[in-house]
Amino acid sequence: MPKVTFLPHKKEIQVDEGEILIRAALEAGVHVNASCGGEGLCGKCRVMIEEGRVADGTSEKLSRQDVENGYRLACRSRVIEDLVVRIPIESEVDAAVLNMQATPRRTARIQEMNLEELKDKGLFMPPVEKKYLELPPPTAQDNLADATRLVSFLKLKHNEHRLVVELPVIRKLPDALRQDDFRMTATLARPVHEGRKTRIIDVQPGDTANRNYAIAVDIGTTTIYAQLIDLISGDVLAQFGEFNAQISYGEDVISRIVYAEKPGGLERLHAVVLQTINTVIRKIIRRAGIETGEVSAITLAGNTTMTQLFLKVNPRYIRRSPYVPASTFYPPIDAVGLGLELADHVSALVFPSVSSYVGGDIVAGVMGSGVYRTEELTLFIDIGTNAEIVIGNKDWLACAAASAGPAFEGGGIAFGMRAAEGAIEDFSVDPLTQEPMIITIGNVRPKGICGSGLIIFVATMFEMGLIDNQGKFNRKLDTPRIRETDGIWEYVLAWEDATQIDRDIVITEIDIENLIRAKGAIYSACMTLLAEVGMGIADIERIVLAGGFGSYVDLAKAMTIGLLPEIDPDRVTFVGNGSLMGAKMSALTNRIRRDVVEATRKMTNFELSETPSFMDNYVAALFLPHTDLNQFPKLKARLDQRRAVLNS
Amino acid sequence: MPKVTFLPHKKEIQVDEGEILIRAALEAGVHVNASCGGEGLCGKCRVMIEEGRVADGTSEKLSRQDVENGYRLACRSRVIEDLVVRIPIESEVDAAVLNMQATPRRTARIQEMNLEELKDKGLFMPPVEKKYLELPPPTAQDNLADATRLVSFLKLKHNEHRLVVELPVIRKLPDALRQDDFRMTATLARPVHEGRKTRIIDVQPGDTANRNYAIAVDIGTTTIYAQLIDLISGDVLAQFGEFNAQISYGEDVISRIVYAEKPGGLERLHAVVLQTINTVIRKIIRRAGIETGEVSAITLAGNTTMTQLFLKVNPRYIRRSPYVPASTFYPPIDAVGLGLELADHVSALVFPSVSSYVGGDIVAGVMGSGVYRTEELTLFIDIGTNAEIVIGNKDWLACAAASAGPAFEGGGIAFGMRAAEGAIEDFSVDPLTQEPMIITIGNVRPKGICGSGLIIFVATMFEMGLIDNQGKFNRKLDTPRIRETDGIWEYVLAWEDATQIDRDIVITEIDIENLIRAKGAIYSACMTLLAEVGMGIADIERIVLAGGFGSYVDLAKAMTIGLLPEIDPDRVTFVGNGSLMGAKMSALTNRIRRDVVEATRKMTNFELSETPSFMDNYVAALFLPHTDLNQFPKLKARLDQRRAVLNS
């Protein structure tokens, strides 16, 4: 990997070959003015290549002379070898401030399921297993019933006990046995608890034991993801995601519940989510090149409302105080009976929920990420429209849903958008000139700003002293970037001619307020849970982020705004789709199904609206980063340092 | 009850008021010539009423003088008070022989299920129970999921543990709870084994705990019987039997299997037996005046083929050596899924079988009659077309199916018929004149002879020396009753003008041979089973008869022909439809379901055709009563006595 050294501050970073230079700068924590998102239009990101060569990097914004002198546009240059790059700096003060302003970008380390560890620990034991058997044919002296012959053989030769043969299997068994001279493959469904009954759920003539697959599904409110898993190797053979067709009936769970209460509404929502799930199932089965009949198990996780709609259980009381779900546990359910396009013998294993707003997706995340069996005090946060948090370790678990609102997904933000092409995803600012450096997804002119970009914006502006701890802009600065429009103060991220939307893209104080409310809801929820168990933020040893948002969020910035407590970024991991991870895990190790019962029972749910201390914690968290800056000692040190530099 | 004393031998008997005098005579073991079946046509049964009065009894066969002298026709007289009746006897020898000839009629004592004993022993615990609950409504501080609330309450207040809430119940629960302010009735399905999971299978608003019913069904090859049982009181509220509609596809199990092997045959036989069962279910539900939804359980028993057809399991291999059924055990099966017209939450509990020809009907009989838990060595015989026998006690059980053929149902007998009006059901004979006394069902002119009548005929004729121990008539007697027709010897039971069919009704030596084969098959099966476990006939302490036939058979006569071993008649009981009795029992006490697994496993099946000693035993049993007369010491004594009387 080529190394890039940025002067004057000698910040070094290694990047992938082909990386765009301006991204390398941002990752290294180096500010370069840039306001067109990386499309090369504004020409502000000119840098001097002192050593090495870049690919591309020229532009009509650079004269031939500039190019000959080694200038390039950082946003158009690709790193192909080791470089030394000099950033033009206006003044010494500027240089000093810029040097300390930005911390290198640091997202959470990705935590994946460790299949080898599962295997080493003997926990690679799918809930459904196939066994190839060569049975002795019956004789006059040995004319046991076919089912008894099968059960006895499994007992004697495979040490399988407490076997139950299901009726559909009894129906198939006599012919299946005789089709290949009493050589056959039996599919066994394992009990949750050892010593309970193992069900023989299918029989096939001959040896099909090496073709055994499962499907893991995350039933998201917005998107349904599924993976097809080879139960012999543990590998994911195919995966696919598709919008949940229920979206036509409402974007969030509350509007889905309202629809479900209408006559026929529940049946409709049940039918359409099944449609989507079946579409996804068909797709991954085709992609993996297997037969539907070879899928032996399906595991699913979703929030409480999605779970109830999937199971055709009316979610009416979920949205009404005191917010009571119909059930938190569900027994294994006949997949075909539910409407899933799978073989007759498949059961759907559905993750349990904790409460109306801490659902099976969160439980799956807690299981998949291993929070339930860690020694360390861990904070698990799944950020979507709602943020669900779980705090605890192998001994105890407390959880709550925080009404964070959609700010992290760009919702409720004037120019907010999802993390798609044209979204401003990174930002830095020159604290003296207030000129921004913006980078968009796809390096195109900006259309708006996504959640992770907004966090970086607010954190950077705050740390640079351009907004105060209440999220208000410094009104005293002489810059056209900070202005008042219709009584609302705002910062111009991009002038209209540098955007795709022909309007100035701004962040208003209302946007910032929304973000502060969102992060305040989450942080105060953590505080509240911890206080309820007699602990404090400082006790947190590990953070696990789940949900798409978590993969992009810059950890230092999230700590700066007070979204996350300040801990060593090495101790923050990202599990991606925790719901899918848990679903997959429970398709690979039956132990999860046993542990999940205990873990779910252990998860003490707090209804924050009913927890008296919550409101105080919330109000205290409506500052950047918090009323109590001492909870963020590293930030406090940086702010002190900045003040010293500026005052010098 | 009036007492009748028959002279000259002073045989006394108490009978129901209104009983016909000739039946009283037969029951007392008193011979009166009578050949018209009791219709008063032959006039032979004239007796002298010496004390007391009878109702009716006159006839054109009696002159006014006869009547004035106290003569009456025994077959037309009804007993209304104590009587002394003199039977006209031809000679002293005649008198002596007649006096010792006939033992009083003695059928088996009826053994019924003892509900009070069940209750006393704490075993009155149906597999499905209803509980009325008044739950605390949820509050902000207590907003458990509805299912958790229910489970916790049952745990706390009703000491119910390991509860599973099924999905259909979760679907109903939220509204059911709120419909009557959290007062509701839960239906619990008990596990077979204590400590296993209790399933909550239904919930209803309000208190419906006192309306809980079950249906017990005997799936017979010919007839399907069902009872509707109140699970609160244990009472049978209604019962009904209907021909199994499968009869159109073959009368016996083999022809049903043959049909089932045709394309669509299995589905057809499954569908029609369900039709019949559903008809019977509807009938008893209507008769009992309850709602279908109030039936919580259904228990069923049938032979192996009937069970497989009911469950749509192809019985193909049952009729092919080595006679392998698909399964002997079946898990509880969703009743609606099977096609039963019952509520969604009902499971069908099907009795296990032992082998292809010892089915769930026999297991049910063994369970219902308590053979499986008795100390005494018991012989259980269920006689139908096949006779199944079980020998053993609480420690061991051996069983076999004996190909007895249909002789006991009148099949394969020249004038054989089922036990219906006009069937000769009782018989005695004057050993000197060879004149018969016949009584028919309904006291009408005879149409034929039923199985129990045939046994009495053969036994009586043998004991009177009119047929020898190979079933051959004494050819030396000078009587028109014993004659040779077309080379076959026969006895005329009724001359054509005294019958309804305008033909002489006869018993041929072929008929007798058929009966001997039938009884020989059963007796030799007992011998074989006993020999296999190192025991003998003399060890049998108790006999239990099942099947309709058993209620009519005269025990002494059955022992005389060697159908039953010679034991004290007090130790023979009749359980009627053992299959239905067992099915009912398992609807009333869950203990049966636990015990039946053990009992069925204990029942060692013998395929007689594969048991080398069987053929020897069979050949030895093809005599009256047996080659070895010492096995029948009482009969031997009577035969010696008769010989002495006749020689005197």
**Domains of chain B in sequence order:** 1-88 (3.10.20.30), 127-205 (3.10.20.880), 213-350 (3.30.420.480), 366-406+514-647 (3.30.420.40)
Say which residue, B638 or B178, is predicted with more confidence. B178
Asked whether the beta carbons of B473 and B509 are under 8 A apart, the reply is yes
Closest alpha carbon within chain B to A601: B148
Asked whether the beta carbons of A20 and A77 are under 8 A apart, the reply is yes
Lowest mean per-residue pLDDT among A180-194, A335-349, B101-115, B150-164: B101-115
Chain A with chain B: Cβ pairs closer than 8 A: 132
Closest alpha carbon within chain A to B196: A196
pLDDT for B99 equals 66
Nearest Cβ partner of B140 from A317, A331, A610? A610
Kindly determine whether residue B140 and residue A166, on different chains, have CB atoms separated by under 8 Å: no
Kindly determine whether residue A175 and residue B314, on different chains, have CB atoms separated by under 8 Å: yes
Q: How far apart are CA B366 and CA B362, in angstroms?
A: 6
Sign of CA dihedral A234, A236, A237, A240: positive
Specify the residue for token string 């180096």: A30
pLDDT at A595 over 70: yes
Which residues 290-329 of chain A have a CB within 8 Å of chain B?
A: 311-314, 316-317, 321-329
- Of B469, B470, B615, B628, nearest to B537 (Cα)? B628
Q: What is the DSSP string of B272-326?
A: HHHHHHHHHHHHHHHHHT--GGGEEEEEEEE-HHHHHHHTT---GGGSSTT---S
Asked whether the beta carbons of B450 and B114 are under 8 A apart, the reply is no
In A, which residues are within 8 Å of B141 by CB distance?
610
Asked whether the beta carbons of A296 and A228 are under 8 A apart, the reply is no
In A, which residues are within 8 Å of B399 by CB distance?
none
Q: Is B597 on the interface with A (CB under 8 A)?
A: no
Give B265→chain A minimum CA distance, Å.
15
Q: How far apart are CA A85 and CA A92, in angstroms?
A: 18
Kindly determine whether residue A145 and residue B313, on different chains, have CB atoms separated by under 8 Å: no
Closest alpha carbon within chain B to A163: B331
Q: How far apart are CA A556 and CA A553, in angstroms?
A: 9
Average pLDDT over residues A51-72: 90
Which residues 606-625 of chain B have a CB within 8 Å of chain A?
A: 607, 610
pLDDT for B486 equals 94
In A, which residues are within 8 Å of B167 by CB distance?
311, 313, 330-331, 333
Q: Is B331 on the interface with A (CB under 8 A)?
A: yes
Say which residue, B14 or A549, is predicted with more confidence. B14
Q: How far apart are CA B618 and CA B517, in angstroms?
A: 8
At a CB cut-off of 8 Å and minimum separation 6, what does B464 contact?
B97, B101, B429, B431, B642
Closest alpha carbon within chain A to B352: A145
Q: How far apart are CA A403 and CA A391, in angstroms?
A: 17
Closest alpha carbon within chain B to A334: B167
- Of B413, B411, B442, nearest to B425 (Cα)? B442
| pLDDT bracket for residue A105 (50, 70, 90) | confident
Q: How far apart are CA A236 and CA A134, in angstroms?
A: 30
In A, which residues are within 8 Å of B330 by CB distance?
167, 170
pLDDT for B645 equals 79
pLDDT for A606 equals 93
Average pLDDT value for chain B: 93
pLDDT at B152 over 90: yes
pLDDT at B341 over 90: yes
| pLDDT bracket for residue B363 (50, 70, 90) | very high
pLDDT at B103 over 70: no
Say which residue, A88 or B368, is predicted with more confidence. B368
Q: Is A495 on the interface with B (CB under 8 A)?
A: no
Q: What is the pLDDT of residues A458-470, one digit of tens each?
A: 999 999 899 999 9
For B50, other C-beta atoms within 10 Å of its C-beta total 12
Q: Is A122 on the interface with B (CB under 8 A)?
A: no
Which residue of A261, A327, A601, A603 is the best one to mutate when testing the B interface, meaning the one whose CB has the most B CBs within 10 A? A327
The tokens for A453 are 């970009």
Q: What is the pLDDT of residues B557-596, one digit of tens each?
A: 999 999 999 999 999 999 999 999 999 999 999 999 899 9
Which residue of B135, B143, B152, B532 is the best one to mutate when testing the A interface, meaning the one whose CB has the most A CBs within 10 A? B143
pLDDT at A535 over 70: yes
Q: What is the pLDDT of residues B383-402, one digit of tens each?
A: 887 899 999 999 999 999 99
pLDDT for A92 equals 63
List residues bridging with B437 in a β-sheet: B34, B428
Buried b (16+ CB within 10 A) or exposed e, B369-403: bbbbebeebbbbbbbbbbbbbbbbbbeebbbbbbe
Kindly determine whether residue B174 and residue A317, on different chains, have CB atoms separated by under 8 Å: yes
Closest alpha carbon within chain A to B266: A171
Nearest Cβ partner of B326 from A174, A311, A316? A174
Nearest Cβ partner of A167 from B173, B311, B324? B311
Average pLDDT over residues B166-172: 96
Kindly determine whether residue A171 and residue B326, on different chains, have CB atoms separated by under 8 Å: yes
Q: What is the pLDDT of residues A303-325, one digit of tens each?
A: 999 999 999 999 999 999 999 99
Kindly determine whether residue B147 and residue A327, on different chains, have CB atoms separated by under 8 Å: yes
Average pLDDT over residues B330-349: 96
Asked whether the beta carbons of B272 and B247 are under 8 A apart, the reply is no
In B, which residues are within 8 Å of A351 by CB distance?
none
pTM of the model: 0.88
pLDDT for B106 equals 81
For B3, other C-beta atoms within 10 Å of its C-beta total 15
Specify the residue for token string 């009578």: B34
| pLDDT bracket for residue A168 (50, 70, 90) | very high
Kindly determine whether residue B314 and residue A174, on different chains, have CB atoms separated by under 8 Å: yes
Q: What is the pLDDT of residues A266-290, one digit of tens each?
A: 999 999 999 999 999 999 999 999 9
Q: Is A331 on the interface with B (CB under 8 A)?
A: yes
**In this structure, what DSSP letter does residue A105 have?**
P
Distance of CA A552 to the CA centre of its chain: 9
Kindly determine whether residue A322 and residue B144, on different chains, have CB atoms separated by under 8 Å: no
In B, which residues are within 8 Å of A333 by CB distance?
167
Q: How far apart are CA B544 and CA B554, in angstroms?
A: 14
Kindly determine whether residue A146 and residue B324, on different chains, have CB atoms separated by under 8 Å: yes
Lowest mean per-residue pLDDT among A67-81, A107-121, A590-604, B100-114: B100-114
pLDDT for A61 equals 86
Supply angle C-alpha B29, B558, B518, rounded to 5: 145
The tokens for B236 are 């049978």
Kindly determine whether residue B146 and residue A324, on different chains, have CB atoms separated by under 8 Å: yes
Q: Is B418 on the interface with A (CB under 8 A)?
A: no
Kindly determine whether residue A322 and residue B147, on different chains, have CB atoms separated by under 8 Å: no
